Amino acid sequence: MSAGFAFELLKTDGGARRGRLRLAHGSVETPAFMPVGTRGAVKGVTLDAVAALGADIILANTYHLHVRPGDDVIARVGGLHAFAGWDRPILTDSGGYQVFSLSSRRQVSEAGVVFQSHLDGKPLTLSPESAADIQARLGSDIAMVFDECPSWPATHEAAEASMERTLRWARRGRDRFLDLAAGRVPEVVRATPGQAQFGIIQGSTFKDLRDRSVAGTVAVGFDAYAIGGLSVGEPIDAMYDIVEHTAAQLPGELPRYLMGTGMPDDLVESVARGIDMFDCVLPTRNARNGQLFTRRGPISIKNARYAEDLTPPDPECQCPTCRRHSRAYLRHLFMSGEMSGAALNTLHNLHFYLDTMRAIRNAIELGTFRVFRTAFLDTYSRRRPD
Amino acid sequence: MSAGFAFELLKTDGGARRGRLRLAHGSVETPAFMPVGTRGAVKGVTLDAVAALGADIILANTYHLHVRPGDDVIARVGGLHAFAGWDRPILTDSGGYQVFSLSSRRQVSEAGVVFQSHLDGKPLTLSPESAADIQARLGSDIAMVFDECPSWPATHEAAEASMERTLRWARRGRDRFLDLAAGRVPEVVRATPGQAQFGIIQGSTFKDLRDRSVAGTVAVGFDAYAIGGLSVGEPIDAMYDIVEHTAAQLPGELPRYLMGTGMPDDLVESVARGIDMFDCVLPTRNARNGQLFTRRGPISIKNARYAEDLTPPDPECQCPTCRRHSRAYLRHLFMSGEMSGAALNTLHNLHFYLDTMRAIRNAIELGTFRVFRTAFLDTYSRRRPD
């Protein structure tokens, strides 16, 4: 286990777990939601605001920061924390997801992936080793191992081949990480000495492949484990089923991270299945598109019915947006294309996600998570008539 | 004088004046800078942030709010303060400047201006009476009288004709305002009962026309007076000369507002000439273009020399941006088109303007404005080599 990394399991309540993660730059209360800060910035809001909303940790994208401004630049100024002015924990993804979803003309081989930058078409390479090097330079608290992200649906054969490759890459990525940690790669600056590394479980929606992925990845031995390859288009019940099946096999004394999920009810349902960490672009991306999450479900702020509605987006909400502003004003800002509309919507949605996690943690501490879960799902409608 | 409107002249220091304006929604310490909130929103930042920066008052644009969402909508929800969630004073401009600068195919007659909306080409009319009505519905603390804004340069003949028309419109605009205030126009909701109205001095860069405009406008009798038609392309010395010449003739017991000005050194120079109130888009607009104001002059954050510069934009600055972030990070956000970059730049520039006004007020109180002015102009370079 990496120096500086520890997970304390404080309480369980059914499948739900209340924990505390200790990382190089501070503690994270779990279950935790990590706002997505793609380029070292959470879209639409300042990091001051993200801190004020109570985020313990943010996620940044290895791929995007590698392309611009470059991990060499970030290493020279002392790592991503110094560069971005964020002193709390940061998790960096492996870059795999973006390589497979953003770049054109990629060539995947056993060595790694050669692809063209989505910015300028420049040829770039990511491999288990280089993804570890880049994240060492970025100096995140948690680095993710480089994995292959198959699209959905996939045949059993394709998903198996991809999962097997991810396993082989996991061994190489872990070896490189351990070499970096031991100072055996002096040419790569390691901006955060206490960096930890998580492995990623793949296997699409096939339980037998997930089983083999868990066994193989845990055999490699990471600081903790994430479930990848979900929230990529599969039916929601299939996702919940794979989450439940996979989480149950992961080491109970380590945090479990479900990558890229999800809607607010997905967070509640996944906590019930033993997940401790989440990231998702939905609260920030949907904010910019005018969708606001409320206790009763999402609302679309551009709806004409809100033109003269002086109530806040969510009357029960204590966020900076709801304390000062009305639906009428937010609709006006959206219709006018005012930047501060996106900022206010983002503040609200991030608050909603972070506050939902606070409520979840509180319920687990009180041993009332089952009641909380039922009440939340009774009230929350994924598709609110709008 | 409108109920609720008062100006207290606390101290003078040479030509500079330290005062306090009492308006329907609160006090404004002068000399004051008013951030521009075109559509009831300051571009790039939330009103929470604008309040936290210490702005006593913001300016909103009558033209833009008339076009969208409509002053009828705003009146129905109780006025602009309720609509925008801003409980401090608001000044609304007359709409004249935008009609003359934004709209196409305008037809000016003695009655007013018929023009096409810049949004959808819909025909709209503004007149001295309708501009007063719209501002009554918006419920600003200070309404501006409808004026004609000639472009620069103008012949003496054209400037004279325009100034004369503005004088005739001033009489009509004031009459309408007084009718509204006295409840003689029951069909127009007046959202802020204590609204005040300022007259506007025109006359381009011709002193004789400025003299006649002052005499005629003061004869109409407004709550206070603004100097319009400057910062429209004339040489800086001509502007200072007209400001000095005109301000000296305005009633000393009332606040004097210089519209649409200016660069930081223009504020210092205009305070020296007796100006009490300012508005300008430069701090917000230039922020979005990557220009940051510092004590030594503006810097362009996109400059490659800042790529690895971990110092804040202005090492002497106490704003939220400089307390947390570096030039390297702000450059990265600008180059990446991240919205939060515009927000952070705007916070910095608004802080710089508002803080400069605080320093000016402090110097006047101490009787050291002359020393402050010299030191400021010695240090500040309008065009910093960058």
DSSP string covering A285-334? HHHHTTEEEETTEEEETT-GGGTT--S-SSTT--SHHHHH--HHHHHHHH
What confidence tier does A383 reach under pLDDT thresholds 50, 70, 90? low
Please list every residue in chain A whose beta carbon sits closer than 8 Å to the beta carbon of residue B338.
39, 41, 43
What confidence tier does B3 reach under pLDDT thresholds 50, 70, 90? low
Q: CB-based contact (8 Å) between A41 and chain B?
A: yes
- Residue-wise pLDDT tens digits, B178-201: 999 999 999 999 999 999 999 999
Q: Kindly give the pairing relationship between strand A123-126 and strand A113-116.
A: antiparallel
Chains A & B: contacts with CB separation below 8 Å: 120
Residue A385: pLDDT over 50 = no
Nearest Cβ partner for A46 among B73, B85, B344: B344
Distance in angstroms (rounded) separating the CA atoms of residues B249 and B19: 18
Q: What is the pLDDT of residue B385?
A: 45
- High-pLDDT (> 70) share of chain A, %: 98
Compute the mean pLDDT over every residue in chain A, rounded to the nearest whole number: 95
- Residue-wise pLDDT tens digits, A211-235: 999 999 999 999 999 999 999 999 9
- Residue-wise pLDDT tens digits, A158-177: 999 999 999 999 999 999 99
Verify whether residue B309 is a known catalytic residue: no
B43–A339: do the CB atoms touch at under 8 Å?
yes
Q: What mean pLDDT is predicted for residues B148-170?
A: 95
Q: Name the catalytic one among B71, B223, B279, B314.
A: B279
Lowest mean pLDDT among A108-117, A329-338, B25-34, B278-287: A108-117
> Taking a C-beta distance cutoff of 8 angstroms, is the pair A138, A71 a contact?
yes
Q: What mean pLDDT is predicted for residues A81-103?
A: 91
Residue A58: pLDDT over 60 = yes
Nearest Cβ partner for A85 among B76, B307, B324: B324
Q: What mean pLDDT is predicted for residues B43-69?
A: 97
B83–A326: do the CB atoms touch at under 8 Å?
yes
- The residue of chain A with its CA nearest to that of B347 is A46
Q: What mean pLDDT is predicted for residues B294-318?
A: 96
What confidence tier does B104 reach under pLDDT thresholds 50, 70, 90? low
Q: CB-based contact (8 Å) between A341 and chain B?
A: yes
Verify whether residue A141 is a known catalytic residue: no
- The residue of chain A with its CA nearest to that of B304 is A69
B45–A333: do the CB atoms touch at under 8 Å?
no
E strand map for chain B: 6-13, 16-23, 26-30, 32-35, 58-60, 90-92, 107-108, 113-116, 123-126, 142-144, 196-201, 224-227, 256-258, 277-280, 291-294, 297-300
Q: What is the pLDDT of residue B268?
A: 98
Compute the mean pLDDT over every residue in chain B, rounded to the nearest whole number: 95
Q: What is the pLDDT of residue B150?
A: 85
- High-pLDDT (> 90) share of chain A, %: 90
Q: CB-based contact (8 Å) between B305 and chain A?
A: no
Q: What is the pLDDT of residue B117?
A: 84
Lowest mean pLDDT among A237-246, A341-350, B117-126, B337-346: B117-126
More confident of the two residues A101 and B128: B128
Lowest mean pLDDT among A92-106, A323-337, B105-119: A92-106
B343–A341: do the CB atoms touch at under 8 Å?
no
Q: CB-based contact (8 Å) between A357 and chain B?
A: no
Q: Name the catalytic one among A93, A141, A314, A355.
A: A93
A338–B85: do the CB atoms touch at under 8 Å?
no
Q: What is the pLDDT of residue B386?
A: 52
B307–A73: do the CB atoms touch at under 8 Å?
yes
Residues 6+ apart with CB under 8 A from A161: none
Nearest Cβ partner for B338 among A43, A328, A344: A43
Please list every residue in chain B whose beta carbon sits closer than 8 Å to the beta carbon of residue A328.
69, 73, 77, 83
Q: What is the pLDDT of residue A49?
A: 98
ipTM over 0.85 threshold: yes
Q: Name the catalytic one among A223, A266, A276, A279.
A: A279
What confidence tier does B44 reach under pLDDT thresholds 50, 70, 90? very high
Q: What is the pLDDT of residue A40?
A: 97
Q: What tokens appear for A242 in the block?
A: 């794979």
Residue B2: pLDDT over 90 = no
Q: CB-based contact (8 Å) between B328 and chain A?
A: yes
